[in-house]
């Protein structure tokens, strides 16, 4: 029983130590330097190189497949319609 | 003879139907996305490049990418131990007498010592010396902004030192945790614009975690800014600009070349552009779930910058920060960075909450989000995500280790911390660690136009469909109509006799 309790206690203590509060705003003599460096690291225009996803863009790239299919089907239907319309009804063969 | 049996009439009708169908198809085609053509007119910064304050810092996606991969320099234990030693010396050297105002260096040394102790995990001592500093300042009738660093540091130390105990049910620790939150709020009141609004998000984070002590399941419903975790988010429909058409109209005229906005007038001209930033947080049910704190939607760059600041300048990696960055980046369409944030969050799951079920469900959520992102990427790109992430994280962590080791060696060699050339040798040996900004930081503005040519396939399809339907309809009608006698006179009348056939001949 005792080893089990010891193990449990160790586990709980370990977990408690592992979970930190979200550390945040510390004001010391180093802060201004760090913030200045932070700003110049990222706002310096000379530093550009691909990072992250593609640029925000508004131009959707047109695909060729769908328009071609639409045109093809449309033309086929037109031809079909013309053929059906042009054909006269043939009289039934005489008995 | 029936009208429908006349070939010319039928062809005219079919032609009219084709014309009508074509017209309808063309009208629909003009409105379809395929017919919308955009003519590039240039690349512009994004609206979140305009800072909240003139001269303030504005977000870059590279900043988020870098904290997730630890691509920044961090002081090590040796640095804080040495600085604490020097701070104690400075405090002891300060001449003290009743009513005498201490030097600014004296109070700065107390802040340094407190922060150093906090970094070394000695929060109780840090709280003790900051309480003492506050008493001294109040005795000297310090007010307002003069008390800013004391409020901010004391509040932070109280939060750090008491959170774990408060979560385990210690009522006194819970009281001190809330005292800490109230002190940071006071710091914001006396100096609202400090550190690009980071403290606001520190309070939001602390209040969220405080609420989770009573209701841990809130951690599976929302991130710390109030983004719902159970909602589906389609990253391909998301972007960092919430109205791209309007932005495309305004961007060329309002955005200046100076992205730092040091000039107040330039910033005033540009600040309305911040209205185009995609907003996040405080989603459905958040207000009722939290009962306090941040309860309105905000431009996504504000919590992002706050979290980046807390990560870099505070306690470093944290699953709650990684999760919030993932949710925010997902909502602005930054799929790669969001994927990395979930990966980092899942790897930090052991520190999410001391509850196995919550940790497992948290990890499962991160994996689900990653799957959604991967579904929106090319298969070959999805396969490279994890190896890339691991290589980047390894690079960042090795850099931080090297930085800390360098500091320890220099300190051991007797180099004073305030030597302006302290880090020179390190920077000569290492490339700059911050990632350069990439194409995701620009907006490719374009002028929208309608291409009539691109509407033609719709017109052809419409014409064909309607013509075909009409032709079939006419055919049916013709079949039902009685066959008209032929005009030539060569009619073959049927007789009553079975099988009889008579030919009328001249």
Yes or no: say if B316 and A23 are a contact pair by the CB < 8 Å rule: yes
Q: Which stretches of B421-473 are assigned E, i.e. beta strand? A: 442-450
Q: Where are the alpha helices (DSSP H) in B69-224?
A: 77-93, 104-119, 123-139, 148-167, 171-190, 198-214, 218-221
* Secondary structure element (H or E) that encloses residue B70, with its range: none
What is the pLDDT, as a whole number, of residue B193? Answer: 73
Which of helix, strand or coil describes residue B491?
A: coil
CA distance A12 to chain B (A): 8
- Residue B19 buriedness (CB in 10 A; 0-12 / 13-18 / 19+): middle
Q: CA torsion sign, A16 to A19 to A23 to A29? A: positive
Q: Which of residues 315-354 of B touch A (CB under 8 A)?
A: 315-316, 318, 320-321, 333-337, 350-354
Banded model confidence at residue A58, pLDDT cuts 50, 70, 90: very low
Which of helix, strand or coil describes residue B43?
A: strand
**CA atoms of A44 and A39, how far apart (whole Å):** 8
* B490 interfaces chain A, CB cutoff of 8 Å: no
User: Of B256, B332, B441, B321, nearest to A42 (Cα)?
Assistant: B441
Q: Taking residues A23-29, what's their average pLDDT?
A: 74
One-letter-per-residue 3-state SS of B191-234 = CCCHHHHHHHHHHHHHHHHHHHHHCCCHHHHECCCCCECCCCCC
What backbone torsions phi and psi does residue B423 show, to the nearest 5 degrees? Answer: -100, 5
pLDDT digits (tens, 9 = 90+) for B369-420: 999 999 999 888 889 999 999 999 999 999 999 999 999 999 999 999 999 9
Q: CA torsion sign, B272 to B273 to B276 to B280? A: negative
Interface contact flag, B443 A56, Cβ < 8 Å: yes
β-strands B279-280, B442-450: how paired? Answer: unpaired
Interface contact flag, B352 A27, Cβ < 8 Å: no
CA distance B190 to chain A (A): 15
- A45 to chain B: which residues are within 8 Å by CB? 259
* B475 interfaces chain A, CB cutoff of 8 Å: yes
Q: How far is CA A22 from the centre of its chain?
A: 29
CA distance B332 to chain A (A): 10
Buried residues in B407-437 as b, exposed as e (16+ CB within 10 A)? bbebbeeebebeeeebbeebeeeeeebbbbb
- For an interface test with B, the pick among A47, A85, A88, A91 (most B C-beta atoms closer than 10 Å) comes out as A85
**CA atoms of B114 and B122, how far apart (whole Å):** 9
Yes or no: say if B254 and B276 are a contact pair by the CB < 8 Å rule: no
Specify the residue for token string 């929106």.
B376
Q: Which of residues 268-297 of B touch A (CB under 8 A)?
A: none
How does DSSP classify residue B97?
-
- B244 to chain A: which residues are within 8 Å by CB? 56, 58
Banded model confidence at residue A20, pLDDT cuts 50, 70, 90: very low
- For an interface test with B, the pick among A8, A81, A93 (most B C-beta atoms closer than 10 Å) comes out as A81
pTM for this predicted structure:
0.74
A53 → closest Cβ in B152, B350, B440: B440
**CA atoms of B477 and B224, how far apart (whole Å):** 70
**CA atoms of A86 and B275, how far apart (whole Å):** 62
Interface contact flag, A52 B440, Cβ < 8 Å: yes
* B248 interfaces chain A, CB cutoff of 8 Å: yes
- For an interface test with B, the pick among A56, A57, A59, A89 (most B C-beta atoms closer than 10 Å) comes out as A56
Buried residues in B260-299 as b, exposed as e (16+ CB within 10 A)? bbeeeebbebbbebbebbbebbbbeebeeebeebbeebbb
Yes or no: say if B58 and B431 are a contact pair by the CB < 8 Å rule: no
Interface contact flag, B244 A58, Cβ < 8 Å: yes
Tokens in use for B312? 């870099």
β partners of residue B38: B448
**CA atoms of A69 and A50, how far apart (whole Å):** 37
CA distance B439 to chain A (A): 5
Count of pairs with CB atoms under 8 A, one residue in A, one in B = 285
Yes or no: say if B448 and B38 are a contact pair by the CB < 8 Å rule: yes
B111 → closest Cβ in A28, A53, A54: A28
What is the pLDDT, as a whole number, of residue B499? Answer: 38
Report the chain B residue with the minimal C-alpha distance to residue A41.
B434
Yes or no: say if B31 and B477 are a contact pair by the CB < 8 Å rule: no
A85 → closest Cβ in B156, B445, B474: B474
Number of H helices, E strands in chain B: 19, 4
CA distances (Å), origin B159, targets B148, B149, B314, B416, B456? 17, 15, 12, 32, 66
What is the pLDDT, as a whole number, of residue A62? Answer: 52
What backbone torsions phi and psi does residue B309 show, to the nearest 5 degrees? Answer: -65, -45
Regions in chain B scoring below 70 on pLDDT: 1-4, 98-99, 196, 252-260, 291, 293-294, 446-447, 481-506
Interface contact flag, A23 B160, Cβ < 8 Å: yes
- A81 to chain B: which residues are within 8 Å by CB? 14, 17-18, 464, 467-468, 470-471
**CA atoms of B427 and B415, how far apart (whole Å):** 16
* B391 interfaces chain A, CB cutoff of 8 Å: no
B112 → closest Cβ in A29, A59, A95: A29
pLDDT digits (tens, 9 = 90+) for B60-74: 999 999 999 999 999
**CA atoms of B50 and B295, how far apart (whole Å):** 24
How does DSSP classify residue A91?
P
Report the chain A residue with the minimal C-alpha distance to residue B73.
A34
- For an interface test with A, the pick among B468, B479, B494 (most A C-beta atoms closer than 10 Å) comes out as B468
Interface contact flag, B315 A22, Cβ < 8 Å: yes
């Amino acid at each position: 029983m005792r080893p089990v309790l010891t193990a449990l206690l160790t586990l709980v203590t370990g977990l408690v130590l592992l979970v930190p509060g979200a550390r945040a705003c510390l004001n010391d003599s180093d802060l201004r330097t760090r913030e200045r460096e932070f700003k110049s690291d990222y706002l310096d225009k000379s530093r550009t190189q691909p990072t992250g996803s593609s640029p925000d863009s508004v131009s959707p790239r047109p695909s060729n497949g769908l328009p071609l299919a639409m045109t093809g089907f449309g033309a086929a239907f037109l031809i079909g319609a013309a053929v059906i319309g042009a054909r006269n009804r043939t009289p039934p063969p005489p008995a | 003879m029936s009208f429908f049996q006349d070939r010319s009439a039928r062809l005219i009708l079919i032609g009219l139907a084709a014309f009508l169908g074509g017209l309808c198809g063309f009208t629909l085609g003009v409105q379809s996305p395929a017919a919308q053509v955009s003519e590039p007119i240039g690349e512009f910064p994004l609206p979140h490049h305009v800072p909240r304050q003139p001269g303030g810092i504005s977000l870059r996606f590279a900043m988020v990418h870098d904290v997730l991969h630890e691509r920044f320099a961090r002081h090590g234990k040796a640095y804080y131990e040495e600085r604490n030693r020097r701070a104690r010396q400075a405090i002891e050297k300060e001449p003290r007498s009743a009513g005498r105002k201490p030097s600014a260096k004296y109070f700065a040394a107390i802040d340094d010592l407190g922060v150093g102790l906090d970094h070394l995990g000695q929060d109780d001592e840090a709280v003790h010396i900051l309480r003492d500093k506050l008493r001294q300042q109040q005795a000297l009738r310090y007010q307002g902004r003069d008390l800013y660093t004391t409020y901010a540091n004391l509040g932070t130390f109280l939060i750090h030192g008491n959170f774990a105990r408060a979560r385990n049910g210690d009522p006194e620790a819970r009281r001190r945790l809330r005292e800490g939150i109230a002190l940071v709020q006071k710091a914001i009141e006396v100096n609202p614009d400090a550190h690009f609004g980071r403290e606001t998000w520190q309070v939001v984070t602390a209040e969220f975690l405080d609420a989770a002590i009573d209701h841990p399941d809130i951690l599976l419903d929302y991130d710390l800014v109030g983004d719902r975790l159970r909602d589906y988010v389609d990253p391909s429909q998301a972007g960092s600009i919430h109205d791209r058409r309007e932005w495309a109209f305004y961007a060329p005229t309002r955005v200046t070349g100076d992205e730092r906005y040091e000039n107040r007038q330039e910033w005033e001209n540009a600040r309305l552009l911040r209205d185009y930033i995609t907003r996040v947080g405080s989603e459905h049910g958040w207000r009722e779930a939290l009962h306090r704190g941040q309860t309105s939607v905000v431009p996504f760059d504000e919590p992002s910058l706050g979290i980046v600041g807390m990560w870099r300048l505070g306690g470093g990696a944290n699953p709650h920060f990684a999760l919030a960055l993932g949710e925010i980046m997902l909502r602005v369409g930054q799929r790669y960075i969001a994927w990395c944030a979930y990966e980092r969050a899942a790897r930090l799951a052991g520190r999410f909450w001391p509850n196995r079920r919550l940790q497992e469900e948290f990890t499962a959520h991160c994996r689900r989000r990653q799957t959604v992102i991967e579904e929106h990427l090319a298969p070959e790109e999805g396969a490279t995500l994890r190896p890339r992430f691991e290589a980047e994280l390894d690079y960042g962590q090795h850099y931080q280790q090297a930085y800390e080791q360098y500091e320890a060696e220099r300190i051991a060699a007797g180099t004073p911390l305030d030597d302006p050339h302290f880090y020179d040798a390190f920077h000569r040996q290492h490339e700059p660690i911050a990632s350069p900004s990439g194409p995701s930081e620009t907006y490719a503005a374009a002028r929208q136009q309608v291409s009539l040519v691109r509407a033609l396939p719709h017109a052809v399809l419409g014409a064909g469909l309607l013509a075909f339907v009409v032709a079939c309809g006419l055919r049916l009608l013709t079949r039902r109509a009685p066959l008209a006698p032929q005009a030539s006179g060569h009619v073959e009348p049927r007789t009553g006799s079975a099988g009889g056939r008579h030919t009328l001949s001249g």
